[in-house]
Amino acid sequence: NAGVTQTPKFRVLKTGQSMTLLCAQDMNHEYMYWYRQDPGMGLRLIHYSVGEGTTAKGEVPDGYNVSRLKKQNFLLGLESAAPSQTSVYFCASSYYRPANYGYTFGSGTRLTVV
């Protein structure tokens, strides 16, 4: 099993450009999450999904959109990138409620907005 796969691994965007980050998991996990990680800020939840076709806002959702059209995929979109969105983005998934199983993380996407 590949676990949680994130693509791309690195990306440089110009301010105002758009892009989509893809997260794919092959573990039949129900719950999926997008976090950003910045120095000194820890992991901050952007959006999450508790099942196919569902999404919910996390702690820092502004400037991002998500979609969960298929159970195995969770897409994070930046409609108009800003330098403040320079960060490392992590996707995670959980079989069911994370209270029972915790998360499995992807290896991250390093995004730089210039």
Span from 18-26, 61-69, 77-85, 94-102 in contact with other proteins (CB under 8 A): 94-102
Site size for other proteins (CB under 8 A): 26
- Binding status of residue 61 toward other proteins by CB under 8 A: no
- What dihedral do alpha carbons 41, 46, 49, 52 form, nearest 10°? -130
**DSSP letter at 97?**
-
Phi first, then psi: give them for residue 84, nearest 5 degrees: -65, -10
Q: For strands 87-94 and 109-113, give the pairing.
A: antiparallel
- Binding status of residue 42 toward other proteins by CB under 8 A: yes
To other proteins, the closest distance from the beta carbon of 80 in angstroms equals 27
- Binding status of residue 22 toward other proteins by CB under 8 A: no
Question: Residue 38: which of 7, 65, 59, 8 has the closest Cα?
Answer: 59
Contacting residues toward other proteins, per CB under 8 A? 4, 31, 33, 40-43, 45, 48, 50, 56, 58, 90, 92, 94, 97-100, 102-108
